[in-house]
Amino acid sequence: MHEIKQRLAVTKTELPPCCLRIHPADNSVVILGTYKLEDGGTRNGSLDIYNEKLRLLKRYATGSAILDLKFSPFDDTILVSAHSTGNIQIWKFSAEDTSLRMEKSFQVSEDSEVLITSVFFSPIERHRILATTTSGDSAIVNLQDFSIQWLDTAHDLECWTGSFGELGELQNVVFTGGDDSKLIAHDLRTQEAIWQTGHRHHEAGVVSILSPGQNWNMDNSHQLWTGSYDDHLRILDLRVMDRANPSLIPGYIPKVLQSENLGGGVWRLIPSPLSDDNRLLTCCMYDGARIVSTEEMNSGEFVVRKYFKRDHESMCYGGDWASSGEFVVTCSFYDNVVQVWSPDSVDG
């Protein structure tokens, strides 16, 4: 495995970058969410718009730190941000002047000391998102009427991440991961847990989840991929009886098919946006980023092909893959570094 050398751009941000998104329809637009813990204990943040060469175009102070950003898969003018004050904000992106306008700030948690750690759009229902919190709870929020459905089973510690199921019976399932090392499958019809894993699966917190989808790793729709603080990327077998119509068996804990140490906590899993391309970008916290490939593996297992770190000397938390597939952008937190690089170029 060689380190990737072709860096296309680099910059330093004013506030520590925590998360980022490349605009799905205009890859020249990169939006960063920042997070700064102030001396008095308050958390400050901003939404920053850069171009693909990492020139700052606009900055929007948000009055609280941002932990996650997601574009709607149904409307690429809609962006949702997750905040350190228990709320989510809905933004409208204008392509005419490359600007953002906040449409709505909505309090998910009644306790403003609770942080919203992640947000995920349903791939099926355009107004539904999954929000996870530092209280260990997770909720389905309807962005049309702003109703909230809290899932019955909470994590014992911070809930860091989640994912909607997409295929077959998994359309009725959301997965969440927490600092308690648990991965929980929730039934959306009852709000109850179908199963939950323990330390036998993950030796530390579960911080990223990738569900089978319509556009990535379709030959292995029975798999669930997870990243953990224990530095491992894992593939879990969801015990699908019918591979074309995946479903879950209540109480039947999935089996780990593959587990590999990537050298850092596996904080983000971002699949390639290209069709017939089963590569995956992983943000590995204190050891840069990786490009993971499944293309050569008939069994559906993964292999680490490429590695990038360069100036990421602290926690690599944020990353995204341009919809063209031509470049990725990653950011690291304490050193305020953002880098654009090619996922295809390696050193010799």
The predicted structure's pLDDT at residue 294: 80
Banded model confidence at residue 241, pLDDT cuts 50, 70, 90: very low
46: alpha, beta or left? (left if phi > 0; alpha if psi -120 to 50)? beta
268: alpha, beta or left? (left if phi > 0; alpha if psi -120 to 50)? beta
Taking the C-alpha atoms of residue 185 and residue 165, their distance in angstroms, rounded to an integer, is 10
The predicted structure's pLDDT at residue 347: 39
Mean pLDDT of 207-211: 96
Give the mean pLDDT of the chain: 92
CB 160 within 8 A of CB 132: yes
Share of the chain above pLDDT 70, in %: 93
The predicted structure's pLDDT at residue 301: 74
Cα 175 to chain centroid distance, Å, stands at 13
118 vs 254, residue with greater confidence = 118
Mean pLDDT of 175-179: 98
Q: What is the pTM of this model?
A: 0.94
CB 309 within 8 A of CB 347: no
For the chain, where do the domains classified as CATH 2.130.10.10 start and end? 16-279
- Ordered DSSP codes for 77-117: TEEEEEETTSEEEEEEEETTTTEEEEEEEEESSS-TTS-EE
Taking the C-alpha atoms of residue 71 and residue 78, their distance in angstroms, rounded to an integer, is 6
Taking the C-alpha atoms of residue 181 and residue 116, their distance in angstroms, rounded to an integer, is 19
Q: Which of 73, 325, 119 is nearest to 214 (CA)?
A: 73
CB 217 within 8 A of CB 196: no
The predicted structure's pLDDT at residue 238: 85
Segment 275-304, tens digit of pLDDT: 888 899 999 999 999 999 886 545 557 889
Q: Which residue do the tokens 């010799």 mark?
A: 348
Mean pLDDT of 34-46: 94
- As a whole number of Å, the CA-based R_g of the chain is 19
Mean pLDDT of 59-64: 96
Residue 258 CB neighbours (<10 A): 18
Domain 16-279 grouped into CATH 3.40.50.150: no
